[in-house]
C-alpha cells in the first residue's frame, strides 16, 4: 500500500508541475516495489518516471529501456526520449501521432503534450551552441515552427528564462549567441553536488526509518531496572528492621 501511495503521489505532483517531488516519490516507489513480481506496476512507474525526468530536463537511464522485461512496453517512451534529446519537433510529432493510443491508455497524454516545450528548448540549446548568429527564419526552419515571428517569440522567452545565453537582434532578425563560459565558473557544479547530497541524505533517512527492532525490546530493560529498584528498597527495609531490633535489645 505504501508503494502504491508513493506512485499516486508522484502522479499528482507531476500533474501539479512539481516534477522534483514527483520524481522523488516515483524513485522511492521503484526501490520499495517487489523486484521479482509486480512487473506491470514497475512498468507503469518507469513510464511515468521517464516522462517526469524529461520534463525536469534530464534523460532517463538507458538501462531501463534495455531491460528485457521492460523493453517492449517502454519502446514508445524510448522513442519519445530520442525525440526530446535530438530537439526535433518533427520527430516528436511523429512519435506522438504513432503512439497516441498508448499514451492515452497510460493516462500520460497531458504530460506528453507538455514535452513539446522541452523539445523546443533542447533544439534551441543545440542551435545556441552551434551558431554564433542565426536568423529567425532559419530557427523556424530547423525547429519546424510556423513562422519566423513564432521563432522570435520562443527565442525571446528562452533568453528571458535563462534557457540559452544569447541576445535578440530585432533590427536584423537574428539570434546572437553569447560566448560560452567555463561551466566551473557557474553554480551548476554546486547544484549537481547538492542534488546528490540530498539523495544520499534521503536514502539514509529512509534506511533509519526502515530499521526493525525486536518487539518489546525496551520492556526487558525496564523490567530489569524495576527489579533492581525493588531489591534496593527491600534491602533498605531489612537494614532498618535490624537496626530497630538492635536498639530494642
pLDDT, one tens digit per residue, over 169-201 is 777 777 777 766 666 777 778 888 888 898 888
Mean pLDDT along residues 82-108: 80
The answer on pLDDT for 17 being more than 60 is yes
% residues pLDDT > 90 (the chain): 0
pLDDT attached to residue 228: 63
* Confidence class for position 222, pLDDT limits 50, 70, 90: low
pLDDT attached to residue 120: 78
Mean of per-residue pLDDT scores for the chain = 76
The answer on pLDDT for 218 being more than 60 is no
Mean pLDDT along residues 233-242: 71
Q: CA 117, 123, 129: angle at the middle one, nearest 5?
A: 135
Q: Return the number of other C-beta atoms located less than 10 Å from residue 47's C-beta.
A: 22
Does the pTM of the predicted model rise above 0.85?
Answer: no
* Confidence class for position 94, pLDDT limits 50, 70, 90: confident
Mean pLDDT along residues 87-102: 80
Chain-centre distance for alpha carbon 111? 15
- Look up residue 136 and give its three cell numbers: 529567425
Q: Which residues contact 57 (CB under 8 A, 6 or more apart)?
A: 118, 121
Alpha helices in 72-216 (DSSP H): 75-86, 89-98, 100-105, 109-130, 136-143, 148-161, 188-210
Mean pLDDT along residues 222-242: 67
Give 3-11 contacts, CB < 8 A, sequence gap 24+: 3/29, 3/32, 3/33, 3/41, 4/29, 4/41, 6/32, 7/41, 7/44, 7/45, 7/48, 10/45, 10/48, 10/49, 10/52, 11/48
The answer on pLDDT for 230 being more than 60 is yes
The answer on pLDDT for 21 being more than 60 is yes
pLDDT attached to residue 50: 84
* Confidence class for position 128, pLDDT limits 50, 70, 90: confident
pLDDT attached to residue 66: 76
pLDDT attached to residue 227: 63
* CA dihedral for 213, 216, 219, 220, sign (positive or negative): negative
* Confidence class for position 249, pLDDT limits 50, 70, 90: low
The answer on pLDDT for 104 being more than 80 is yes
Amino acid at each position: 500500500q505504501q508503494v502504491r501511495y508513493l506512485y499516486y503521489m508522484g502522479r499528482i505532483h507531476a500533474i501539479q508541475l512539481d516534477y522534483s517531488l514527483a520524481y522523488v516519490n516515483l524513485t522511492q516507489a521503484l526501490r520499495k516495489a517487489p523486484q521479482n513480481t509486480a512487473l506491470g506496476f514497475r512498468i507503469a512507474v518507469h513510464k511515468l518516471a521517464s516522462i517526469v525526468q524529461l520534463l525536469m530536463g534530464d534523460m532517463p537511464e538507458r538501462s531501463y529501456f534495455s531491460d528485457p522485461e521492460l523493453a517492449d512496453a517502454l519502446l514508445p517512451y524510448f522513442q519519445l526520449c530520442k525525440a526530446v534529446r535530438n530537439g526535433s519537433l518533427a520527430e516528436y510529432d511523429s512519435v506522438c501521432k504513432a503512439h497516441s493510443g498508448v499514451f492515452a491508455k497510460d493516462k500520460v497524454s497531458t504530460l506528453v503534450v507538455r514535452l513539446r516545450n522541452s523539445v523546443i528548448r533542447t533544439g534551441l540549446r543545440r542551435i545556441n551552441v552551434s551558431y554564433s548568429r542565426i536568423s529567425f527564419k532559419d530557427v523556424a526552419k530547423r525547429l519546424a515552427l510556423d513562422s519566423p515571428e513564432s521563432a522570435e517569440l520562443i527565442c525571446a522567452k528562452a533568453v528571458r528564462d535563462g534557457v540559452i545565453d544569447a541576445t535578440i537582434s530585432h533590427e536584423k532578425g537574428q539570434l546572437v549567441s553569447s560566448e560560452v563560459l567555463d561551466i566551473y565558473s557557474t553554480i551548476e557544479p554546486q547544484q549537481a553536488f547538492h542534488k546528490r547530497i540530498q539523495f544520499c541524505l534521503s536514502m539514509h533517512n529512509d534506511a533509519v526509518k526502515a530499521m526493525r527492532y525486536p518487539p518489546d525490546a525496551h520492556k526487558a530493560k525496564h523490567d530489569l531496572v524495576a527489579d533492581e529498584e525493588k531489591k534496593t528498597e527491600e534491602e533498605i527495609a531489612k537494614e532498618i528492621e535490624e537496626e530497630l531490633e538492635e536498639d530494642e535489645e
